[in-house]
Structure 1
Amino acid sequence: MTPAAAQGIPHDGSGDAHRNVVSRSGSFDVPALRRWIVVPVLITGLVFAAGMVLRNDMFLSTSDLGIVQDVGKHHSVIGDALALTIHDGLAGWSAGLFLLVVGLIIVILTRSTVDALLVGVLTTGGWASTLAMRFAVGRARPDPGLLSDPLVPATAGLTSFPSGPTAFAVSFGIAVSLVSLGTHWQGLVIAAAAVFAFTAGASQVYLGVHYPSDVIASYALSVAAAVFLTGLLSRYGRCLRSRETHGAPALVQTAGHSGGPDGSPGAAGTLRGQGRR
């Protein structure tokens, strides 16, 4: 028997929606590893070591370039359009605009600025980690002159390792997957995020702007950044949780004044305490 039924409150189907709104509006609950510092440090160290090896080992670099050259021989009109759209959409101001629009949609759907902030922090954090790694490793991009069908002009600077657009896509996918946990769309969102991350990485190799190892490094580094940031937010995110709770006084007041004559929290208070399922 539900708490509402136990107190004689009719159930018209709105209770589930009310529970979701109340629980999500005041929470900042994200899964976090216990060793949220050690694991990211180890992954980052391994990625850096791999980058230095790839930068200086001619045999591995030649093998990497060979894959890019082979992919370039199978270009198509549809593939070119899709890859260029992803490449342009996940770079510069367009990526920021994309993230802003998604954040507004999340606020509208979940009525929670905390979920929107979570997506923004995890996405930008993963992307920023690749920028730092690029400067640390300093690997040159594939030479367009060695490709049969270069689609993007040569990029100046040693900015190949890891791939920024791939890191953005992977970090965004992790973020929206975390936000979707406990909702009816969880499976669909996670599957779409995985496809998006894979497609973004493949597009960079397809265009010849990154080596396959750059893409793989982006996957690993994005996961490391997500592990660190979720651990950080889980431990020090109480201020955000408190602000979000005070931002919905009507719901909090309802939960506090709907108790029974014995001082019990009542249906709304009980539902609020259940959190996400």
Structure 2
Amino acid sequence: MARLPQLRRWISVPLLLVLVTLILGFAVKLNPRLSGAEFRIDELLSRDHIAVGNAIALTIDAVLSPPGIIIILLVLFVFLLVVRRSPVNAFAVTSVATVGWLSSEVFKLLVAQPRPDEHLLHNPLIPSDGSGSFPSGHTTFAVAIAIAIYFLARGTRWAAPAAIVGLGFALLVAGSRLYLGVHYPSDVLGSFLVAPAAICLYTGLWNRYGMRVLNWIPFLDRIGPIPSRLQPRDRPARRTAAPEGL
């Protein structure tokens, strides 16, 4: 993973996604009809809670809480670094997932959309703090970790299964947030825009500076191989002496 997949327009495309995300967030926040229509979906789902659905949604809520996410990232990092002895993959996977996840916090501050009012739900399962609804942090992390794992699996026979399972996991997490009534549909939709936008921008930065940074970390190359700062394709070609004339 010394070089991640990168869009040709790795700056303009993320900026466009950011603009679309902001338009979506503010459109729902500033339009009572839209927010009301979305809340009716949450309210409808709260009427049909079942034991299995409750268990799944509450487990996802606990496991993908901020402390749970940090533990997941640390375990993944240690596994790739110590067990697999691949410092490049360890830093690449965890940094991609972390950047994608934390990008949601920026939009939470910018949009400042209040969460759905739990007191208006038919059967609220967890309390709501009332703030930071757009986008869903749980869903954003699910999308980000799915992309990171796909990057790790690309080029192998596990690429397609990783993409399918990752998408399914992200959709499951998104559905669980609506099931619990702690997010609007636009919140989870925004997560599917925010994480790719942040990761697209980050891959361009990683491909330019990632190996330089890793080469500055002492003793890291003793754990596993790290490509040098100057890749073979970047090295100037040797000049060969011109043959002497006859």
Using structure 2 for the length normalisation, give the TM-score: 0.85
Matched, 1:187 2:160: yes
**1:149-208 deviation per Cα after TM superposition (whole angstroms, max 9, x unaligned):** 10111214x310110111011001101110111223222222221111111111110100
Other-structure match for 1:84? 58
Using structure 1 for the length normalisation, give the TM-score: 0.76
1:164 aligns with one of 129, 137, 154: 137
Matched, 1:178 2:148: no
Other-structure match for 2:40? 66
Matched, 1:122 2:96: yes
Matched, 1:96 2:81: no
- The CA deviation at 1:77 is 0.7
Report SS of the residue matched to 1:152: coil
Counterpart AA for 1:180: A
Report SS of the residue matched to 1:204: helix
What percent of counterpart residues are identical?
35
Q: d(CA) in 2 for partners of 1:104 and 1:127?
A: 19
Other-structure match for 1:223? 196
Give the number of equivalent residue pairs. Answer: 225
Find runs of 4+ consecutive structure 1 residues off by over 6 angstroms.
243-246, 249-252
Please identify the structure whose Cα radius of gyration is greater: 1
Distance 1:86 1:215, change over 3 A: same
Q: Which runs of 5+ in 2 are unaligned?
A: 227-246
Report SS of the residue matched to 1:75: coil
- The CA deviation at 1:76 is 0.9
- The CA deviation at 1:231 is 1.2
Retained in 2: the 8 A contact 1:28–1:240? no
- Provide the alpha-carbon RMSD of the alignment: 2.2
5 Å-filtered alignment, 1:1-16, equals none
Q: d(CA) in 2 for partners of 1:123 and 1:136?
A: 21
**1:128-159 deviation per Cα after TM superposition (whole angstroms, max 9, x unaligned):** 21111111111110111111110111214x31
1:143 aligns with one of 94, 97, 117: 117
Distance 1:48 1:112, change over 3 A: same
